[in-house]
Amino acid sequence: MTETKQIIHPDKDRFLGDENPFEQMMSRFDVAASLLKLDPGLYKVLRNPEKQVIVSLPVMMDSGETEVFTGYRVLYNTSRGPAKGGIRFDLGVTLDEVRALAAWMTWKCAVVNIPFGGSKGGVICDPLSMSPGELERLTRRYTASLIAILGPDSDVPAPDVNTNERVMAWIMDTYSMHKRHTVTSVVTGKPLEMGGSAGRREATGRGCMIMAREALAHLGRSLKGSKVVVQGFGNVGSIAAQLLQQEGAVVVGVSDVSGGLYREGGLDVNDVIAWREAHRYVAGYPKADPVKNEEFLTLPCDVLLPAALENQITKRNAADIKAKVIIEGANGPTAAAADEILDRKGVFVVPDILANAGGVTVSYFEWVQDRDGYFWTEEVVNQRLEEIMVRSFRHVLEMSQKHQVNMRIGAYTLAIQRVAAVHKLRGMYA
């Protein structure tokens, strides 16, 4: 008889107090709701997720033992269309985190005005210590446990932290086997051969580059020659760094979990990527100075692009930020308590629900292409992404100027207004 073990969250108190991600989100929501004079009943509806699912996932490990993992899926709001949101595999996953991320997805889809609601999922695990076979069995068990809520018309997952095209392929295959026919539109971020979209892998980083360009232009500055620091050198951060460099920006710093790199004259981003691919991490790269992660965000630069995890800029380090512009490539990288500090310093922040919306925008394109059975060229994808991101930046800027608030509250106000309008039109089912 095999032994069954329960995987316990090793850092379950990470988001208590003023850095709880859901409360961070709600503190911004409350400000925007007040500006909109939101109806009290509708306020209650939008403050609560529609559905929260917790599943136990028994998985046979390569050793023959059975481990039991905990998985989550939260559908926050589906008034504007099917829920849309990624799945992350990480030891730091909590229900509060997933709930906050699902809410952010709701507002993000509304900000760029695509017909999706918001969802998010996660499994508490250490994917770096698991074999491909173990990850596949975990993914398929998670998918099967959520089969009743997943679907192209109900809830459409995508990659997130520590998940990728291969994981999406397993989800699509598992769902399709249960439905007894191939359903490509059940997930996005798939391999091209399985109905993925050209330009999807680069979309979030490309959107961040576009937002940096637009923000600097609004401030009367040029992206060309601007110094950029990128925290988080995964898919989003590394692609954003490449594209920013191609547009003439000088990337002076990059970092990952192993530490940071800084070179005042600028890094060769492609060379750093080649080093990371050969050595797994950026640490040890010989052509730059090492920087400790706790000091990295305060490096001198024009543009700071946090593309790692939540709560990286807090009241403890916000006053030391030297960047003039922050482009939030990650979800929730700035704690609510830091907003006022950054405002006082005159830092122009393009918030996550706008800055990193390129990914969900091209996920929407992928979903549309799958349902049509007709696929666009990468040039068309990038052109349509550019149009949506630039238009959305202008809409958020107009809202922030109208209410005399920062871009974050402007984005929340725009998003909540759009979601609330649909709720009013649909009415209340009783």
Q: Among 133, 68, 120, which Cα is nearest to 94's?
A: 120
Paired strand residues for 60: 66
Tell me the H-state helices in 191-254.
Answer: 200-218, 235-246
Angle formed at CA 218 by CA 216 and CA 224, multiple of 5 degrees: 30
Neighbouring C-alpha atoms within 13 Å toward the C-beta of 83? 28
Q: Are 9 and 94 in contact (CB under 8 A)?
A: yes
Q: Cα separation of 77 and 105, whole Å? A: 9
| Beta strand 227-231 pairing with 303-306 | parallel
Q: Are 170 and 194 in contact (CB under 8 A)?
A: no
Q: Is 120 one of the catalytic residues?
A: yes
Q: Cα separation of 194 and 342, whole Å? A: 44
Describe the crossing of helices 378-403 and 200-218 by its angle, rounded to 10 degrees. Answer: 40
Question: Which is the catalytic residue, given 120, 190, 227, 324?
Answer: 120
Active site residues: 120
